[in-house]
Structure 1
């Protein structure tokens, strides 16, 4: 019998950042790829809702740059990859964080090596394996030739304060032991990743207690910071993953994608050949040589990559491990009078309410709010209280030291399975190749971060290319069959 004709070399199920990044690497290698997404837009959990001119993220995960948790792979010979993320703009928070403790806000700043949006963009390229372009020639005034009239890049924030300067109202910040904390974070920033991954593994909370730092340092700064970075209020995450998060924080900056979290997956989708991504297509079953869809019949291929969330992947392929998850609730408010915290991330060390961290997001990224309006986004970790908006308003009033009675609630987004848990023992390099022709990627195969999702997509694409032996263009993809009427 003749083998049925393939409609594509690879079918990617799911249009989150992991699947889109894998699809880009495959198409650059000449492998015809079809991305199928059940929703009507790309992004998965990295989606942004638009309400009355505001752009509201659903999960609000923080990005830490430079993304150097793992060394980038060797540069790909295809020069087109150098422009994969050129359109991404990252807006940095003010250096360090604000910590609310004992009824007061204290500034905690650390040195940053990735300065401004340009350094953050180079860090994203490094994570994804994209070579950093050579610096452009500059004239004697320090500007690129012909720079007159061009749009200026996002200016860098003011130079960060040294880590040992924790001041509020001219007095020394007494929550942490500045010199010891500075030394600890500097040591983490300089420690090779492989050495961190070889450390004994404990829950992060237990590992912090065993570090020998003062209790007020741990409870007043490190615990709330790690809870925000890991979306884990109880710090049950693997201490190795916590060390990686602290390492990235100590050597980089907290950032947000300009225009909302969905800007990254939308950018990746635009870099794919036209007709690669198909939304509104629900896959009901998978095999090593094809997928079955709810409305478009069977699609034949040479390999299938599951790039969905962990639970959806296990429903399509029973036997895959489904981890526990950290629920996240994001509450968005607007007000005419912004709180006086600037572009800082505000953490609650007292645990005086449900809000783990909050920020005047429109000060970080002005594109997320209409002109003259303020967007305040607050994150609740763990199960939310019954009357979440009322309780959050009361907590925000204490954190910001201002009345929230006249604040307008724009949206309350609750995601029960927002972030896969990384409890010990946790393998951040879980296999992406299940068997020849069937692969899986996503943050549940790596670390539960945007960085981890991209890394897993890169690993899955490499495994597919190795199995297919792709060295050039293979065949043209057929168009997706027309949906049948119900």
Structure 2
């Protein structure tokens, strides 16, 4: 028989960003909560490792300061954030590097866009698109217009095919992990807005500092690591090695694969896979915190992470992260050395491959029509949250976790 405490206890399965946000809000609402994590640390896909003196994020990561959930929950100063260059560098088909900066942040460099070959027509279209997305209320962007693919939205906005192919397609391939511009136009507009309104950064101690800070706000003992949930039961959850734990409600905040196994009635969306290769290089200091894309699509993007945050590499060395779509084929890191030699104008044969990270459930495939927010209620006493219930972003994961907590608290109060 359940105790009185068990009648209110809530179990959250999965200590990624959604699960952490949900558990924190439940605890703030006065509900006893246990956050069960199968791994050895919190964070889910948002984690960092130390390898040969380097900070190795589990996949290329950026932290956007403009997200409402981030502003409400995070102590940004404590993260010791360092920014990327506000813009992107494109490696063009003729081997040149074309720098496209955000003229709103660096107005003195705005005229360089014309010198870089951006046509007046494309500059005007970029200004109109950006102004609309920056200044229009977010609620309006969520509702306005017919939902299209991102490619159709860009054509409708008046961009030339050349600008789409040389800028938007390679850049957005790294954002949405697909290079066909098939992501929902509403998702695109909201993400574009967030990039223009915020600053893309890295925490000094790696992206894993974000979930650690969230976990620090939970009551002592609320997080149980290395506690895998194997099934949901009528009275709670069944764990591997720890037996059954009672709960009045269970929130599944895992990745889509585990969520689908625990909740057979759930149909998660397809997910995108990405691989990031990390190389140590001796001679890239002073290159700047630039994100570089490739028109030829040999890679999604590359960046000298230690130029963004020096602590990512040992003193005197540079850490380069280069991402490709899909799972890593044998020799992926070595195959990238040729293109990277072109991008960085450096001899790459001596670069040391320190890590390769493949993230199989990196981002939901947010094709139109894509609901920007969904209820987390699945069955009586069963809830599910994560970026697949909102948008594939830190904001989406945190917002979905917050919604799960609100719905659980409302149901328990009945």
* Alignment TM-score, normalising by the size of structure 2: 0.92
Report the counterpart of residue 134 of structure 2 in structure 1: 189
Report the counterpart of residue 82 of structure 2 in structure 1: 91
Partner of residue 285 from structure 1, selected from 194, 209, 231: 231
Q: Is the 8 A contact 1:110 1:162 kept in 2?
A: no
Matched, 1:460 2:404: yes
The alpha carbon displacement at 1:455 in A equals 0.5
The alpha carbon displacement at 1:446 in A equals 0.7
Q: Which residues of 2 match residues 472-483 of structure 1 at below 5 A?
A: none
The alpha carbon displacement at 1:341 in A equals 3.0
Q: Is the 8 A contact 1:163 1:178 kept in 2?
A: no
Deviation string, structure 1 residues 260-307 (Cα, Å, up to 9, x no partner): 121111111111111110111111111464111121111112111111
Structure-1 separation of matches of 2:266 and 2:109: 44
Q: Which residues of 2 match residues 267-306 of structure 1 at below 5 A?
A: 267-287=213-233, 289-306=235-252
Matched, 1:38 2:38: yes
Report the counterpart of residue 98 of structure 2 in structure 1: 106
Report the counterpart of residue 25 of structure 1 in structure 2: 25
- The alignment partner of 2:201 has SS state of strand
Deviation string, structure 1 residues 172-216 (Cα, Å, up to 9, x no partner): 010453233223212221122222222212222233233221122
Structure-1 separation of matches of 2:112 and 2:126: 11
Structure-1 separation of matches of 2:11 and 2:374: 21
Distance 1:85 1:295, change over 3 A: farther
Distance 1:205 1:62, change over 3 A: farther
Q: Is the 8 A contact 1:288 1:302 kept in 2?
A: no
Q: Which residues of 2 match residues 187-226 of structure 1 at below 5 A?
A: 187-198=132-143, 199-226=145-172
Report the counterpart of residue 375 of structure 2 in structure 1: 431
Distance 1:243 1:87, change over 3 A: same
Q: Is the 8 A contact 2:260 2:266 kept in 1?
A: yes
Between Structure 1 and Structure 2, how many residues are aligned? 409
Structure-1 separation of matches of 2:173 and 2:62: 11
Structure-2 separation of matches of 1:166 and 1:234: 28
Matched, 1:316 2:308: no
The alpha carbon displacement at 1:10 in A equals 0.8
Report the counterpart of residue 315 of structure 2 in structure 1: 371
Q: More deviation in 182-191 or 319-328?
A: 182-191
Q: Is the 8 A contact 2:285 2:318 kept in 1?
A: no
Structure 2: tracts of 5 or more residues without a match:
none
Q: CA RMSD in A?
A: 2.3
Q: Is the 8 A contact 1:335 1:408 kept in 2?
A: yes
Structure-1 separation of matches of 2:77 and 2:377: 30
Q: Is the 8 A contact 2:385 2:404 kept in 1?
A: yes
Q: Is the 8 A contact 2:237 2:245 kept in 1?
A: yes
The alpha carbon displacement at 1:359 in A equals 0.7
- The alignment partner of 1:166 has SS state of helix
Structure-2 separation of matches of 1:261 and 1:302: 33
Q: Which one has a bigger Cα radius of gyration?
A: 1
Report the counterpart of residue 64 of structure 2 in structure 1: 64
Partner of residue 409 from structure 1, selected from 353, 370, 373: 353
Distance 1:220 1:339, change over 3 A: farther
Deviation string, structure 1 residues 41-62 (Cα, Å, up to 9, x no partner): 1111112121121110112133
Structure-2 separation of matches of 1:94 and 1:345: 7
Report the counterpart of residue 391 of structure 1 in structure 2: 335
Report the counterpart of residue 336 of structure 1 in structure 2: 282
Report the counterpart of residue 324 of structure 2 in structure 1: 380
Structure-2 separation of matches of 1:402 and 1:83: 39
Matched, 1:51 2:43: no
Structure-1 separation of matches of 2:74 and 2:302: 33
* Alignment TM-score, normalising by the size of structure 1: 0.79
Q: Is the 8 A contact 1:226 1:245 kept in 2?
A: no
